């Protein structure tokens, strides 16, 4: 085991779950709140979410979607209309049963207590997802085929009562976007489902530098009430999977339950075909587990609240004013440069802290580029540049004007370094398998990675294997996705010839 000193203890190799928590703490991203299972997202963490939100929102609007907002509280009767959907979330629902509090004094202690009174005639569920409440609105809004397609997105919070919370990955309350659309035909709805699935895949790759496997969920793993669920699956550094986003074709299941009906082109009354799709603050957890190292967070440039931080080095008080002025001048010049169509985000850290403390704070926060400028650098017109995707000790000393010209290019290099690194790691940890013995042996390893197998089993057989090894089929990869191929092409369990491949793994 390495004895090299790291900023984060324990290291990834020593205790991955605890390392993850310590990275969040060191980067000042979030903390547990007084409300069980819920988190406080701190400014540096919320800044990541704001950028994810802004950049995704532009993509949604570019494809014709509009934002709206729907109630947090859903009448219980709405969930009861769609039994399969409601059953899928029943154990995670938080329920509101009263509408006021009254104060009473404890006769023994004399302390005042707040007692819920005013029982509601019908309980409300705090939204675990909004298909039912949005479906009710769609039923009011849609009358004719001319009202279709209806393309709506909501940025909101949801609640799913989580028994084993983990910051960003699984919390009782979390932030997300949920798209909901209604279409005239099945084909149009499936095109929409695939379109949004592709947007998620592209966003994770091009904005978060996370390579994902796009595919379809099996019947066992589908969203409750859906006819088809598409997913993007990411591998993180302990070789587990994270479902980073999903897109669902809901058929006419919800529209029939909620009477989302319209007069068709032939004059007959028809039910709409609906979709839903969403990603959440889980993306931030995925980003941390995919890219961070034993010194802290590493941020892909497009979602870094500050892409470049400039640190003034002022060993003597008489040089402080000139150095800080030089730092601000460089920052202002850089802010006029564009990276991926947006001005560079640059911060000058003038706090009265030691240089070492400031340097390590920004390392742990994962800022892509750090620049140090001292009195000598003003004379030589050279600056000290350090990249977060490289070794902490690595430094470059370019002429200031050269750095300005190539700053956006350097950020792109950082993005591609992170993407290439994650892709190579993932590909090295997906193995082909075509025998039952090899399948069983694989899951006895401590961090086994994923298996890609030919598959022709039943949902019952899938469920049995999943329970035996605490695994799931993460997806049936889309055609054309390059993955390790089995030599035989026969299902490892049934022996039947099959063209279907299944990607198995442990997950968060």
* Per-residue confidence (pLDDT) for residue 3, from 0 to 100: 55
Position 65 in a domain: yes
- Its pTM stands at 0.95
- Same domain for 284 and 367, yes or no, is no
Cα–Cα distances in angstroms (integers) from residue 441 to residues 180, 431, 435, 444, 494, in the given order: 43, 13, 10, 6, 18
Residue 351's CATH number: 3.40.50.800
CA distance 347 to 303: 15
Residue 79's CATH number: 3.30.930.10
CA dihedral 243, 246, 252, 253 (to 10 degrees): 30
- Same domain for 405 and 468, yes or no, is no
Residue 104: which H helix or E strand, with range? strand 95-105
Count of the separate structural domains present in the chain: 3
Boundary-marking domain end, from 265, 291, 317: 291
Query: How far is Cα of residue 214 from the mean position of the Cα atoms in its chain?
Result: 15
- Same domain for 375 and 490, yes or no, is no
CA distance 129 to 124: 13
pLDDT at 2 over 60: no
Q: In 14-72, at which residue ranges do the beta strands (DSSP E only) sit?
A: 30-32, 39-41, 66-67
- Same domain for 185 and 254, yes or no, is yes
Position 179 in a domain: yes
Express as a percent the part of the chain with pLDDT over 70.
99
Question: Which of 395, 362, 377, 399 lies closest to 326 in space, CA to CA?
Answer: 377
- What is the arithmetic mean of pLDDT over 258-286? 98
pLDDT at 487 over 80: no
Stretch among 58-72, 108-122, 293-307 having the lowest mean pLDDT: 108-122
Strands 228-235 and 241-249: antiparallel
Question: Which of 179, 168, 161, 153 lies closest to 125 in space, CA to CA?
Answer: 161
pLDDT at 488 over 90: no
- 148-189, pLDDT tens digit by residue? 999 999 999 999 998 889 999 999 999 999 999 999 999 999
Cβ-proximal residues to 282 (8 Å cutoff; 6+ apart), any chain: 168, 169, 170, 174, 242, 243, 244
Tokens 């057989």 sit on residue: 461
pLDDT at 444 over 60: yes
- Could you write out the DSSP letters of every residue in 265-309? TTS-EEEPEEEEEEEETHHHHHHHHHH-BTTB----GGG-S-SEE
Position 391 in a domain: yes
Buried-exposed string 369-392: b where 16+ CB fall within 10 A, e elsewhere: bbbbbbbebbeeebbbbbbbbeee
Position 297 in a domain: no
Helix, strand or coil, per DSSP, at residue 165: coil
- Record the tokens describing residue 42, joined without a space: 């701190």
- What is the arithmetic mean of pLDDT over 420-443? 97
- Same domain for 92 and 183, yes or no, is yes
Position 379 in a domain: yes
* Degrees, nearest 5: CA angle 179-184-190: 55
Cβ distance 286 to 244 under 8 Å?
yes
- Same domain for 163 and 58, yes or no, is yes
- Which pLDDT band holds residue 108 (cuts at 50, 70, 90)? confident
Boundary-marking domain end, from 262, 291, 320: 291
Tokens 């969920």 sit on residue: 217
* Per-residue confidence (pLDDT) for residue 81, from 0 to 100: 83
Position 111 in a domain: no
Cβ distance 335 to 367 under 8 Å?
no
- Same domain for 438 and 401, yes or no, is no
- 57-98, pLDDT tens digit by residue? 999 999 999 999 999 999 999 988 877 777 878 889 999 999
- Same domain for 345 and 233, yes or no, is no
Position 496 in a domain: yes
Q: Report the mean per-residue pLDDT for the chain.
A: 95
* Per-residue confidence (pLDDT) for residue 5, from 0 to 100: 86
* Per-residue confidence (pLDDT) for residue 342, from 0 to 100: 96
- Same domain for 344 and 457, yes or no, is no
* Per-residue confidence (pLDDT) for residue 431, from 0 to 100: 97
Enumerate the β-bridge partners of residue 244. Answer: none
pLDDT at 119 over 60: yes
Tokens 């709409």 sit on residue: 272
- Same domain for 220 and 139, yes or no, is yes
- 338-380, pLDDT tens digit by residue? 999 999 999 999 998 888 999 999 999 999 999 999 999 999 9
Residue 459's CATH number: 3.30.110.30
Boundary-marking domain end, from 382, 410, 438: 410
- Same domain for 397 and 440, yes or no, is no
- 197-213, pLDDT tens digit by residue? 999 999 999 999 999 99
Residue ranges making up the domain that contains 341:
308-410
- Same domain for 331 and 228, yes or no, is no
Question: Which of 378, 413, 201 lies closest to 307 in space, CA to CA?
Answer: 413
- Record the tokens describing residue 88, joined without a space: 């899928």
Position 4 in a domain: no
pLDDT at 146 over 60: yes
């Amino acid at each position: 085991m390495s004895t090299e000193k790291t900023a984060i203890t324990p290291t990834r190799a020593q205790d991955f779950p605890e390392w993850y928590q310590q990275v969040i703490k060191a980067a000042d991203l979030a903390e547990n709140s007084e409300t069980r299972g819920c988190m406080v997202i701190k400014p540096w963490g919320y800044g990541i979410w704001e950028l994810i939100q802004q950049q995704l929102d532009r993509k949604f609007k570019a494809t014709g979607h509009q934002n709206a907002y729907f109630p947090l509280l859903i009448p219980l009767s709405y969930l009861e209309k769609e039994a399969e959907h409601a059953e899928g979330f029943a154990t995670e629902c938080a329920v509101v049963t009263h509408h006021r509090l009254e104060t009473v004094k404890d006769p023994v202690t004399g302390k005042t207590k707040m007692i819920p009174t005013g029982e509601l005639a019908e309980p409300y569920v705090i939204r675990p997802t909004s298909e039912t409440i949005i479906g009710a609105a769609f039923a009011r809004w849609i009358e004719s085929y001319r009202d279709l397609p209806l393309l709506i997105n909501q940025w909101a919070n949801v609640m799913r009562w989580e028994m084993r919370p983990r910051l960003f990955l699984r919390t009782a309350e979390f932030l997300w976007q949920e798209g909901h659309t209604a279409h005239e035909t099945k084909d149009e709805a499936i095109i929409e489902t695939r379109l949004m699935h592709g947007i998620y895949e592209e966003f994770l790759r091009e904005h978060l530098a996370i390579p994902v496997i796009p595919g379809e969920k099996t019947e066992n793993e589908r969203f409750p009430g859906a006819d088809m669920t598409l997913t993007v699956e990411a591998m993180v550094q302990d070789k587990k999977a994270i479902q980073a986003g999903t897109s669902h074709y809901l058929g006419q299941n919800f529209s029939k339950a909620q009477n989302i009906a319209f007069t068709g082109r032939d004059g007959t009354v028809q039910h709409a075909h609906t979709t839903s799709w969403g990603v959440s603050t889980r993306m931030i957890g995925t980003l941390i587990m995919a890219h961070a190292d034993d010194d802290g967070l590493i941020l892909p440039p497009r979602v870094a609240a500050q892409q470049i931080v400039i640190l003034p080095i002022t060993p003597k008080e008489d040089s402080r004013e000139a150095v800080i002025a030089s730092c601000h001048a460089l920052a202002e010049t850089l802010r006029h440069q564009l990276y991926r169509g947006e001005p560079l985000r640059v911060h000058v850290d003038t706090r009265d802290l030691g240089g070492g403390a400031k340097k390590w704070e920004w390392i742990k926060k994962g800022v892509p580029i750090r620049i140090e400028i001292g009195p000598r650098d003003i004379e030589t017109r050279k600056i000290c540049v350090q990249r977060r995707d490289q070794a902490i000790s690595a430094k470059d000393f370019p002429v200031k004007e050269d750095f300005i010209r190539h700053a956006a290019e350097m950020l792109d290099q950082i993005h591609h370094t992170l993407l290439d690194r994650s892709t190579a790691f993932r590909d090295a940890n997906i193995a082909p398998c075509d025998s039952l013995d090899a399948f069983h042996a694989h899951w006895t390893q401590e961090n086994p990675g994923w298996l890609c197998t030919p598959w022709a089993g039943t949902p019952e057989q899938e469920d049995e294997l999943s329970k035996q090894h605490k695994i799931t089929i993460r997806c049936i990869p889309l055609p054309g996705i390059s993955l390790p191929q089995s030599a035989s092409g026969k299902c490892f369990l049934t022996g039947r010839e099959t063209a279907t491949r299944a990607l198995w793994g442990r997950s968060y």
